[in-house]
Each structure stands twice: as C-alpha cells, then as structure tokens.
Amino acid sequence: MRQAVVWIDHKKARVFALDEGAVSPSLVNAPGAHIHRHPKEQEVRVRNHPDDEHRFFHDVARALEGSAEILLVGPAKTKLHFLRYVQRHEHALEPKIVGIETANHPTDAQLMAYLRDYFHGSRPGHDLTA
C-alpha cells in the first residue's frame, strides 16, 4: 500500500511516497510569475495566468497517482485550495486524502519522519515544527 505526504505552498509541492518501506521523493514546481516590461515607461508588471494554479494542482495530482492514503501538509491556504481542486476535478483522489495538517517549512527529513509516524505510529501529537 502506497502512502504519501505532500507539503504544498503556492510555489512548490514536495511529495514523499512510502511504498514497502522505501521513500520516493518528488518535487512539483508551480509556474512562475510572468514579468512584463514596458519599454517606454520602464514599468514592470508581474502577473499570473489564470490557469497556472489549475495546471500546478493537476501536476501535483499526477504525482500522487497510485497512492492509497495521502496526507496534505502546508503553511497556509494552498493545501485547502488543492483539496478544493481535488474535490472538483480529481474525484478518484479525494477519498484517499486522510488528513490535512498545518506546518510552516519542515525539512525533507522531518517530512519523511512525519510520513512514517503518521501512517505507522501514533497519528496525533507529532510536531513538524520541532
């Protein structure tokens, strides 16, 4: 049974999948902001394309394919926006999300330890910020 934890913010998603004791990490980067410079006025405008978040979440969902249980982790609202995307567009993935946790910026080692503890240890009480 493959289990995964994904730490996600608006810039990237770090996915760690645990399958038969081996952890496989992957990284999904969000599309960068598009910078437009107006040559006459030297004005710089930064904007995102409307489909950027949708594409990013689609790529994260593809990285989670094959997972039986998924834990979403992140610092702010992006994890909730991803959950909403899954509910609307990735119906097969939705029942596999077994938990949502808040964590600022854990190291890879902390995420891997949390993955193992969450799915194979006592779920409540683990601190990702330590």
The DSSP secondary structure of 5-53, one letter per residue, reads EEEE-SSEEEEEEEETTEEEEEEEEPPPPEEEEETTTTEEEEE--TTHH
Residue 129 has pLDDT above 60, yes or no: no
Domains of the chain: 3-120 (3.30.420.60)
Q: What is the pLDDT of residue 34?
A: 47
Report strand pairing: 69-74 vs 22-29: unpaired
What pLDDT is attached to residue 60? Answer: 97
| Residue 93 pLDDT > 90 | yes
Q: pLDDT by residue (tens digit) across 32-54?
A: 754 445 555 555 554 455 678 89
Q: Which pTM does this prediction carry? A: 0.78
